[in-house]
Amino acid sequence: MKKKYNVAFAPLNERLLILSFNISKLLIKKGISACILKTSFNGSELSAFKKKSLVKKISDIIPVVNVPYLQFKNKVGFFGNILRTIRVHYQLNSKWEAPYEVLVTFMDDYSVDEVLTIYSKKKNIPTIMLQEGSEPRRNKYSISLYDFFSFLRNLIFRNYFHSKAIGLNSDYVAAWSTLNYKHFIDNGRSSKNTFIVGSPYPLEKIKKKNKTKKNILILHQTLYHRYSSVKWNDELWTELSTQLLKKGYNLTVKPHPRAGSKREIALFNQIKQRAKSINRPIKIMKRSILAEKLIKDTDIVITCISAGANAALGNGIPVIYVDTPFNKNQALNKLSKKNEIILVKDWQEAVNKINNIINNSYKLAHWKKKGYSSLIKLSGDPEIFEKKWLKLILRVINNKKIININ
């Protein structure tokens, strides 16, 4: 019989693979066995396990367990994904025995995490969703053709897809902050199985030069169809880049790790052409690079909802968040009203805000000083994570009575 681990992690991308590795080590130190499930449900190009050297480094310390029925070379479209998901569920339920007692996911309504959450619940295996981003979506669907078809898919194939929003499909949820905790409770979760664990990302302090160089980092995300229309998305990233270059800023653009579609590649090519047409250099980084590695020489970060901006915020680098038309981030809006973070409505306001901060030493100093406290309110305290996380895992493994770990 194959070895059973106390806990298994199901990372969706490289960032979450590294996170799974780090928080697995916390458990192993306390005698809790852990493994990481190797999958490529959306194709090898988007797999968390694409970098062989990284996988080797991790597997030397934490067991990486191959899930054979969740390995695919190519990505498929909407309807192909339906067929793939149904086939995978049949194979898992009839041919595979889970090598874990507890499953930890990061997005229980998406991709392989959704598949494994449904499978595990059928097998009476407890599931925990550890919050993945600065705030999960409040609504499952937005007003778009894509989400209309998603709604129909989830209704017709209800045994294979979740119809509830993220965080409402797992037995337990580990939220980063008080704001995030309240989000899950307001969305319908019980306080008996929802916990605040703090941020799982330790804040790495960086040494920054005092002199401002007008270096701007844009952390891109594909916003359609959940957060905006295609038109709004393309205009945001194109005009934001172009206008900042025209203002004389040094610009670095970090594409989202999953931004590999033809439309997304065309968007970045258009941005490059715009830069060339005004004779201004621009750096468009590889999407596999972690955002945290780019903030050292950055003066201001711009994003919509990227958790990659947390490291900048915690290090006193001002972050400008751009609000989205659909599924607005409630945490950002609440903190903005209290003047805890900078939230703007569009690219024009973002450009004006950058000019305002860069050219005003008082405001620049104000937002630098405010960064860490804003991070704690937005994304939780990294100092409490190890203790809170361990208590939650022990509670689930031992199936104890309710323990107040908040």
- Domains of the chain and any CATH numbers: 5-199+381-398 (3.40.50.2000), 215-379 (3.40.50.2000)
pTM: 0.88
Amino acid at residue number 208: K
Ranges under pLDDT 50 in the chain = 1, 400-406
SS3 235: helix
Say how far apart CA 240 and CA 58 lie, in whole Å: 38
Residue 332: the pLDDT is 93
Joined tokens for residue 308: 């990659």
CA-closest candidate to residue 133, choices 384, 385, 340, 331: 331
CA atoms of 196 and 184, how far apart (whole Å): 11
Instruction: Output the pLDDT for position 208.
Output: 67
Q: Give CA angle at 264 (326, 321), nearest 5°.
A: 40
Measured CA to CA, the distance from residue 98 to residue 239 in angstroms comes to: 48
Amino acid 290: pLDDT:
86
pLDDT digits (tens, 9 = 90+) for 103-157: 999 999 999 999 999 999 999 999 999 999 867 777 788 777 888 999 999 999 9
Question: Residue 402's pLDDT is what?
Answer: 42
Q: 302, 313 in Cβ contact below 8 A?
A: no
Instruction: Dump pLDDT digits (tens) for 252-297.
Output: 999 998 898 899 999 999 999 999 999 999 999 999 898 888 998 8
Q: What is the pLDDT of residue 199?
A: 95
Q: What is the pLDDT of residue 399?
A: 78
Residue 401: predicted pLDDT: 40
Closest CA to 128 of 137, 140, 116, 138: 116
Residues 6 or more apart whose Cβ sits within 8 Å of residue 378: 134, 177, 179, 310, 313, 331, 332, 335, 340, 341
Indicate the length of the chain as a whole number. 406
3-state secondary structure 171-222: CEEEECCHHHHHHHHHCCCCHHHEEECCCCCCCCCCCCCCCCCCEEEEECCC
Smallest CA-to-CA distance from 354 within 319, 379, 387 is with: 319
pLDDT at 257: 86
d(CA 337, CA 273) in angstroms, rounded, equals 38
pLDDT (tens digit per residue) in 178-196: 999 999 999 999 999 999 9
Query: pLDDT at position 400, please?
Result: 45
**DSSP per residue over 63-127, as a string?**
-EEEEEEEE-SS---HHHHHHHHHHHHHHHHHH---SEEEEEES-TTSHHHHHHHHHHHHTT--E
